[in-house]
Structure 1
């Protein structure tokens, strides 16, 4: 797999999560319950884009970094494992839960507790993906120069 495919997949994943996170904050602070429910369903459907992008970024990154023994590559790999775990264990189940709950009009303390957890996990993944992007750009400059 090419470095360009890896970069594209990682960028799509990062931008998708940023869009989900920003949409959530905006709709939760300014929208109606109906708008929140619509946003939650859109995020759930958006997983059709996010999951393949994350899988492609992870698989292509593993393949690209396989021959490299640089500490930055090991750090990117470690971060990707945290990102994947956070996504599969927190973000995806939260998206399903929140979408179902919002569709049912159940905006109670449990909804908002899970919403807060989702925002925290999303911010964590945004940070980790941003660090991976930074390090990927550094690696690509190394390849171009050497």
Structure 2
């Protein structure tokens, strides 16, 4: 019921970004479980499936931000940050966004949950060759890079 507020806020933010074109800094996690599956989230405020993550706050490191976002979105306090998968430039939504993607290992896939149902509608583990319909193109590109063991960079 409160999810409609997130949808309205999301639309307002995208309009703001188009007008102001701010420079932003974000993080995402390629969460991999022992079976090689990838965790994806579906937000309340935008269609599609995405890697979990979000914005980096002022005076916050990228590492602290991804740990905070994983706790806030999917309830994970215990993840192993294996390495930086890549750094990308995203100008799709009208902002000048730089995104750091971390490759992370999750020992206990059952520990993943919807931590904030106002923000996250669904969360799940998916085999790389069985991604859900609506998985965003950028998410698919990051997973392909991971499968090819390529370092990522460039356009989101």
Query: Same fold, TM exceeding 0.5?
Result: no
TM-score normalised according to structure 2 size: 0.24
Structure with greater Cα Rg: 1
Please state which structure has a larger fraction of its residues in strand.
2
Bigger RCO of structures 1 and 2 (CA < 8 A, at least 6 apart):
1
TM-score normalised according to structure 1 size: 0.25
